[in-house]
Amino acid sequence: MSVQLRSTSPVDLPFAAAYQKAGGPDLASEYGFAGMLAHHPPPAHRGGDAVSAWLPGDEPAAWLRALTEWQRDGVGFRLLLAERHHAPSREAHALFTGRHLGLPLHFLARVQVHRERLLEPERWREPRAWLREPLLNRLPLAVWMMGPVLDVRLLESRTDHSRTVLVLLRHKQPQRLSALELSVSTELRHGGEPAVFDRFECTGTDGFLRVNGIWENHIHLPRLELHRGAVEMVQRDLPREFSSVYEHAARAGIGSKKQSAESYRLAADYLTTCALLI
């Protein structure tokens, strides 16, 4: 199998590292990936090219212009975020947006991370640093689950050893609210190593579901829990390792025009939310 993708995405770096540590093949020869850090607008792409990219949220206007140019030139596009390639998250998305839990009401994402687990650990104190970090920035996930955002509120607290950002979102669909609790610490460890703890929850009128961890492999909770009425269902047979996220992303490639159009819509709604925050 050979999947040729041109990546402008820093999120590819942990994808690749996790896959190669798990014994995967050489990425350059097998998948044609070229990982490049991109904190500025990407280079122009010729018509017919395909782009798989994580879009940092600290410069939304520049990325919105790039999206417009790509779409105008017929570039196939896939917004790359880990949750879209994580089996429990994909299952949760299908259940929640398919209204198997009734009407969607509330979304909550919690992330706690040691600064050394970030892509840019030296920049963790900067005001917009969390918007550049795929591990911390769960705005695309909230938009993917709950739809476009109408207005936002941002609260922050800082100490010498930690920083916490609380993001409150009101979505365009009536009665839909989201909250993101994002924390960076210099002291969070598991087994003596810098740690990550993350999960998200979706609540509907008839129940709720919880996805326990994507980046954190030490977690012993089931990856997907579903609570509907008085019934609790647990799925334990879904992939647990972060490497499965990269494997799915590499296998999937960029598909139909319909899939590309969905990515363009999701990316535009996400970047618009970032602009509201900034």
Residue 241's pLDDT is: 67
CATH number of 233's domain: 3.30.360.10
Helix segments in 73-151, DSSP class H: 87-97, 129-132, 139-146
Number of structural domains, the chain?
Answer: 2
Query: Is 106 in the same domain as 121?
Result: yes
pTM of the model: 0.84
Mark 195-218 as b/e (b = at least 16 C-beta within 10 Å): bbbbbbbbbbeebbbbbbbbbbee
212, amino acid identity: N
* Cβ atoms 206, 87 nearer than 8 A: no
Mark 79-100 as b/e (b = at least 16 C-beta within 10 Å): bbbbbbbbbbbbbbbebbeeee
Residue 14 forms part of a structural domain = yes
pLDDT in tens, the chain (278 residues): 333 334 444 455 545 544 554 455 554 444 434 333 333 445 445 445 777 777 889 999 999 998 998 888 888 888 888 888 888 999 999 999 999 999 999 999 999 998 888 877 888 888 888 998 888 999 999 999 999 999 999 999 988 888 999 999 999 999 999 999 999 998 888 888 888 889 999 999 999 999 988 777 566 677 888 888 767 777 767 776 666 777 777 677 676 778 889 999 999 999 999 999 98
Longest Cα pair distance anywhere in the chain, in angstroms?
54
Query: Is 134 in the same domain as 173?
Result: yes
Calculated CA dihedral for residues 94, 240, 13, 96, nearest 10 degrees: 20
Please give the span between the terminal C-alpha atoms of the chain, in angstroms, as a whole number: 42
Residue 192's pLDDT is: 83
Residue 46 forms part of a structural domain = yes
Residue 52's pLDDT is: 75
Residue 147's pLDDT is: 97
User: Domain of 40?
Assistant: 6-81+246-277
Residue 1 forms part of a structural domain = no
Residue 94's pLDDT is: 94
Query: Is 44 in the same domain as 139?
Result: no
Give the 3-state secondary structure of residue 175.
coil
Query: Is 114 in the same domain as 71?
Result: no
Query: Is 260 in the same domain as 228?
Result: no
